[in-house]
Structure 1
């Protein structure tokens, strides 16, 4: 006996375990997209199939009504040529003259239970079964009204027959019945072709509606997926950035409890770590609000050179040198966000724009074209890191990795840009550009 491979059983058990796991938020959103697509396709299919069924039935009723009307007209016209002479003898057309041939017409006479064919086609264009014609004539004679029926021809084609009774001379009884027949195979073929065409069209339209529904559902759930991605990015940022200061504060608290360090020094370092945590939380919240679009821009004219001077004056130098060269420049921007962007650039230069143990020498240049260039004499930025520098977690060691990302967002939100290149001082040169106010 052949035993099943253990690998297959393991894969099946893993699949069962995955099915038992609760769906992730992204999985629930994608499942909702599939359900919306299915519902859209189902509603479209019901509507299209319903209209197709109505169209097929209407076409079927239309061609049948047209055939029946033509048959009734044929029997009525034929009956109009029947005459009785003065002696009461029926005068009817000679079948050899061809008036009975196409569509074939048969004239029956007598009572309903013993009708006989008085005249029949001489050279008919199609063969009508005699039993079907006589049976329909007897039924019409009994009911005294037009009777319609369908019967197969000798070649298998479907025939439509019409029997119309007429009263004889000086009597109220039916003693004449005219039976006409027509081949309806062409009409049936046209009807079947229409049915096939409508079926194929419905299938194509349902497929197109399913694709359209999937596209529309994707557009509908895209904001939810984007919000979910932003939430996950925020949680990842918080976990990544808060882990280090929280660990440091925990170690400081344990050191203070054990009495292994001066209490004043422990408190000073704890205060520094808590200040850093506060700045991290502020950066995280700011980035989350920016990515979610919850920070509206309040553009107004402002002096870019004065804003840079104020940022430099409010930033503690701590032994570093910061020199500003500025010309008057009026830009149209949000004061709070632009101040945050310039502060982040200056803070980044103060933190990383110098060799370890040496003071930083930073130069800031404000141009009349709405540019702020921050040059430092640090190690610089490798070219391979320049493209990803403004993404989260790509700043230098010891920083949150969010400052440059926020600055880049502020620049792009104002229609400007943030670039980095090699500085003439040997370090990095960050160039922030925002639109200037157009003169009237």
Structure 2
């Protein structure tokens, strides 16, 4: 399964996006709160420094560049006229000059940003204090980098962890899907194994098992009903077929002959329906060793207008009735596709390993969109019931052979039915394979 179609990947991706959104919102909220607290603490520190210096000045301690200011603090005394009376050593260039930072909340000093505060000194003027914001800026940058790192690393970790956790949590679904792919609908419907933990996966698989049981019960009822219908049709069709055959022999009326052919068609259709109702496993094969020419004669009567090619002088090991049914279905479909004016041919080729029957017609060929679906029941490309090809493939499989479909190189459809060849040894080494026209076995 491609990763983009995986439920585990989609769940992991959803959880990752949700986690990313939560981390972004929570991280921004925490960082904003933290920075506000740091800013408030910095402002408190600045105010305390300004209050301490103002008290020291008013108390007679007028050494602005020394102990009261502390390291990293800028101070100046501004008189009532806006002239700088005194300043810390790093700001001596501003003494005896107009105060340059009037009304500025933040100033640049020594290449760094500094926040300012002022205090009144009574009749002496104003105390101006500036405190560098280097630590505050560094803290802001560190918090921003931490948030960006979390936003980059967390999605990757969440995706990997989510993929692993999802793979383990949904392992039961994967195993159930693998088992469901191997369920043979022609056999008894198998149930899916349930995980030990009764979670949502357990509930889903349990519901699927109940559905499979209901499907099997419905299929059984349908097969039973279909078998009863076919059984009820079989007896009247047999009588009708015999009566029309005798009437056709006596009168040679074309309409009666045509009606007899229609009863043959209905008889084979009921056989197909019966085989569909019984299923592949209930079919039996009665093996006979018969001349190929006998099979050819039966097919020639059932599907008039068929041209035969190849070597029909050998012997065949098969169930004559079922092989006739399979080939007749193929020839009838070919006749429908070719139309009254078209051609239908059956070629027999025999080797030491295989016996091959090839049916060709001059019709439009098989629809390419059907592919192997043409062998499914009730799927038809020629307007028939769609049972014939499905039954023919089942019969080929019962004989240990295969049935394939395609389009002939010269146009038209081509069906190839291949059976295992018959290898007979010397009489003193092996038991006789059987006499022509006698049953060998009925497994």
TM-score range for the pair, normalised by the shorter chain length:
0.3 to 0.5
With normalisation by structure 1, the TM-score equals: 0.38
TM-score by length of 2: 0.38
